[in-house]
C-alpha cells in the first residue's frame, strides 16, 4: 500500500464512521425509537448526511484523491487502482449534489417514514400523499443535479446510485421479454395442480419462530457475535460497520414461513456484509458492496435457492420438528418444499413467490420511471398501481395499505431502487449455475446441512472483492457470460414445473 493511498483510506474511514452512525440511527428508527423521537432523528440524519457530504466534496478529499491518481505506485497495483477509480466515481457524483439537498433528503425521510407508517396503519393514502410528493420532489431535484446522461432519461441518474451504469432503457429492454416469459410460465403453472399448502397453515409462537430463526442463521454461517436479529414491520439488513451487521424480521403466528424466509433473505444480505473486508478496509470501495443488484442476488440466493429447496427441508426437518413444537406436525421435506413453492398472484411483494415476484418489481419500476419523466404525479400512484396489478397479475389490491403503501422505500427516499430486486434474481440464478459447475456436490451437501462450501465460494468469488469489479465484470468473471434472464427462467422452470405437475 502506498503512502498516498494510506492517507486517502484513513480519511475515507472517518467519513465511513460518520455514515455508520447514520446506519445506526436508521436501524434504531425502525426498531426501538419512540414515536416522539422522529423530529430529532431527522435533525441527526440531516446533520450526519451534511457532514459526510462536506467531507466527500471538500478540498482535503480532492487533494488526497488527486495524490493517489498521480501516484505510480497506485497505478501499478490493480486493486488500489480500482479502489481509487471507484472513489473518484463516488466523489464526482457527490460533487454534483449540494450539501443542503443531501441534508434535506436525509432529514425529511424519518418524518416521511413516520407519516407512511401511520397512514399505512390507517389505510389513508391522502395522509401519505403530501409526504410522497415531497420525497418525489426531492428525488427529482437530485436527478436534476446529477443531470440526464446523453441519450438517457432522468430516472437513469437515480438508478445509477444503486446499480452503477444501469439505464432505464436497458432495464426496460430486459424486463419486457421477461414479463412475457413469466406471464406465459405463470399461466402454464395455473393449468397444473397447486401444491397442498396445509403444512404452512399452522400456528407457531413468535418465541419458537425466533429461536428457530437464530438456529438457521447460525447454521448457514451468520455470525451473531458480530450481528443481531430484531423485529420490525418491514424487515431489512443494516450493515452498520465492521463487526456490526443487523437483521430484522417479523413474526406472523399463522404463517411461520414469512419470518423464516424473511430471515433467510436478510441473512443473505448479512452474509455479504460480513464477508466484505470491512475490518481492514472500512470506508474504501474495496469494503463496499458492488451494487444493490449484486446485494440482492445474495439475499435471494439464501432465501430461495437454498431455503426453498427440497434439500434444505431435508436437512432442517428434524430441527424444525423439535424447535417449532407439536403444532408444526410432521410434514415430509418434499411436502414442505412443494408448499413453500406455491406460485400465485398476491398483493404483497415481500411475500410473493419467485414466479410472480418480478411482476411486483416491474409495476414499481414503471411507476417510478413515469414519475421521473413527469408523466405522472404522486397523487396518480394509487390508481395506476391498482391498474398495473390488474394488468400484470390479474388482481386488484383491496386497499392502498395492501397496494401502493406497502413498501417503505419511497418514504425513505429510495427511488430508483426497485429494479435492482429483479436484477438480483437474475444474478442469483446465473451465479448458482456457476456454483454448481464448480461444486457438483453442492445440493447433496445442503441436504446434510453443509452450508460452508457455498459460503466459502461466495466469499471467494464475490464478497471479498468489495467494489473491485463492476457488476457486469463480476458476472462475466464468475459465470463466464454476461447477465441473462435464461438461467433464471431455467431455474424457475426446473423448480416449479414439478411442483405443479407440469414437468
**Contact residues: a copy of itself, CB under 8 A:** 14, 17-18, 20-21, 24-25, 28, 31-41, 43-44, 47-48, 51, 223-228, 230, 240-244, 246, 282
What single-letter DSSP state applies at residue 304?
Answer: I
CA dihedral 5, 7, 12, 18 (to 10 degrees): 160
Distance CA 327, CA 315 (A): 20
* Degrees, nearest 5: CA angle 135-174-89: 55
Residue 427 CA to residue 458 CA, distance in Å, equals 13
Q: Burial level of 100, CB count in 10 A (0-12/13-18/19+)?
A: exposed
CB of 91 to a copy of itself, least distance (A): 20
Candidates 142, 114, 123; CA nearest to 408 is 114
Least CB distance to a copy of itself at residue 237 (A): 14
Catalytic residue among 104, 266, 366, 433: 266
Distance from the Cα of residue 166 to its chain's centroid: 16
Q: Which is nearer to a copy of itself, 43 or 198 (CB)?
A: 43
Among 259, 280, 260, 181, smallest CA distance to 220 is for 260
Helix locations, 193-309, DSSP H: 206-220, 256-275, 278-281, 292-300
Q: Which residue, 85 or 226, is less far from a copy of itself as judged by CB?
A: 226
Nearer to a copy of itself, 244 or 353 (CB): 244
Judged by CB, which is closer to a copy of itself: 179, or 228? 228
Residue whose CB is less far from a copy of itself, 278 or 300: 278
Q: CB burial class (10 A; 0-12, 13-18, 19+) of residue 232?
A: middle
Comparison of 31 and 472: residue with beta carbon closer to a copy of itself: 31
Q: Would you say the C-alpha torsion 342, 489, 332, 323 has a positive or negative sign?
A: negative
One-letter-per-residue 3-state SS of 420-464: HHHHHHHHHHHHHHHHHHHCCCHHHHHHCCCCHHHHHHHHHHCHH
CB of 246: closest distance to a copy of itself in angstroms? 8
266 is catalytic: yes
Closest approach of Cβ 61 to a copy of itself, in Å? 16
| Helix (H) or strand (E) run with residue 227 in it | strand 227-231
Give least dist CB 46 to a copy of itself, A: 9
Q: Which is nearer to a copy of itself, 242 or 403 (CB)?
A: 242
Grouping H, G, I as helix, E, B as strand and the rest as coil, residue 109 is helix
| Min CB(57)–a copy of itself separation in Å | 18
- In the bound complex, what is the minimum distance in angstroms from residue 13's beta carbon to a copy of itself? 8
275 in Cβ contact with 459 (< 8 Å): yes
Tally of helices (H runs) and strands (E runs) in the chain: 23, 3
Give the whole-angstrom CA distance, residue 4 versus residue 360: 47
Between 20 and 87, name the residue whose CB sits nearer to a copy of itself.
20
Rounded Cα distance between 500 and 185, Å, is 11
**Closest distance of CB 35 from a copy of itself, Å:** 5
Q: Which residues are catalytically annotated?
A: 266
Amino acid at each position: 500500500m502506498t503512502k498516498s493511498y494510506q492517507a486517502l483510506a484513513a480519511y475515507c474511514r472517518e467519513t465511513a464512521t460518520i455514515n455508520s452512525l447514520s446506519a445506526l440511527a436508521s436501524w434504531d428508527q425502525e426498531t426501538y425509537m419512540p414515536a416522539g423521537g422522529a423530529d430529532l432523528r431527522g435533525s441527526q440524519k440531516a446533520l450526519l448526511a451534511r457532514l459526510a457530504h462536506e467531507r466527500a466534496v471538500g478540498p482535503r478529499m480532492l487533494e488526497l484523491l488527486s495524490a493517489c491518481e498521480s501516484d505510480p505506485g497506485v497505478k501499478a497495483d490493480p486493486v488500489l487502482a480500482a479502489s481509487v477509480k471507484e472513489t473518484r466515481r463516488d466523489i464526482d457524483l457527490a460533487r454534483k449534489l449540494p450539501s443542503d439537498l443531501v441534508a434535506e433528503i436525509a432529514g425529511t425521510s424519518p418524518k416521511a417514514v413516520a407519516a407512511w407508517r401511520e397512514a399505512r396503519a390507517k389505510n389513508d393514502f391522502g395522509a401519505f400523499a403530501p409526504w410522497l410528493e415531497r420525497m418525489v420532489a426531492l428525488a427529482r431535484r437530485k436527478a436534476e443535479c446529477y443531470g440526464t446522461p446523453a441519450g438517457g432519461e432522468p430516472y437513469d441518474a437515480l438508478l445509477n446510485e444503486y446499480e452503477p451504469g444501469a439505464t432505464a432503457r436497458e432495464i426496460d429492454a430486459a424486463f419486457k421479454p421477461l414479463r412475457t416469459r413469466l406471464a406465459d410460465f405463470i399461466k402454464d403453472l395455473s393449468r397444473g395442480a397447486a401444491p397442498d399448502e396445509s403444512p404452512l397453515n399452522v400456528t407457531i409462537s413468535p418465541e419458537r419462530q425466533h429461536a428457530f430463526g437464530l438456529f438457521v442463521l447460525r447454521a448457514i454461517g451468520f455470525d451473531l457475535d458480530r450481528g443481531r436479529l430484531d423485529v420490525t414491520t418491514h424487515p431489512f439488513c443494516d450493515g452498520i460497520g465492521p463487526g456490526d451487521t443487523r437483521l430484522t424480521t417479523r413474526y406472523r403466528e399463522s404463517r411461520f414461513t414469512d419470518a423464516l424466509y424473511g430471515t433467510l433473505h436478510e441473512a443473505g444480505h448479512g452474509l455479504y456484509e460480513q464477508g466484505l473486508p470491512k475490518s481492514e478496509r472500512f470506508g474504501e470501495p474495496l469494503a463496499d458492496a458492488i451494487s444493490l443488484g449484486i446485494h440482492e442476488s445474495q439475499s435471494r440466493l439464501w432465501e430461495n435457492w437454498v431455503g426453498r429447496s427440497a434439500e434444505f427441508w431435508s436437512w432442517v426437518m428434524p430441527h424444525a420438528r423439535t424447535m417449532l413444537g407439536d403444532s408444526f406436525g410432521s410434514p415430509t421435506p418434499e411436502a414442505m418444499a412443494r408448499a413453500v413453492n406455491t406460485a400465485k398472484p398476491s398483493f404483497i411483494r415481500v411475500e410473493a413467490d419467485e414466479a410472480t415476484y418480478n411482476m411486483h418489481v416491474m409495476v414499481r419500476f414503471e411507476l417510478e420511471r413515469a414519475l421521473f419523466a413527469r408523466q405522472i404525479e404522486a397523487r396518480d400512484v394509487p390508481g395506476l398501481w391498482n391498474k398495473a396489478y390488474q394488468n400484470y397479475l390479474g388482481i386488484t389490491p383491496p386497499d392502498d395499505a395492501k397496494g401502493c403503501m406497502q413498501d417503505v422505500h419511497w418514504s425513505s427516499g429510495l427511488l430508483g431502487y426497485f429494479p435492482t430486486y429483479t436484477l438480483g434474481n437474475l444474478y442469483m440464478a446465473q451465479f448458482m449455475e456457476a456454483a454448481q459447475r464448480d461444486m457438483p456436490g453442492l445440493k447433496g451437501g445442503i441436504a446434510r446441512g453443509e452450508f460452508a462450501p457455498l459460503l466459502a465460494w461466495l466469499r471467494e468469488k464475490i464478497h471479498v472483492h468489495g467494489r473491485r469489479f463492476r457488476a457486469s465484470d463480476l458476472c462475466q468473471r464468475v459465470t463466464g457470460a454476461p447477465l441473462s434472464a435464461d438461467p433464471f427462467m431455467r431455474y424457475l422452470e426446473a423448480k416449479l414445473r414439478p411442483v405443479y405437475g407440469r414437468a
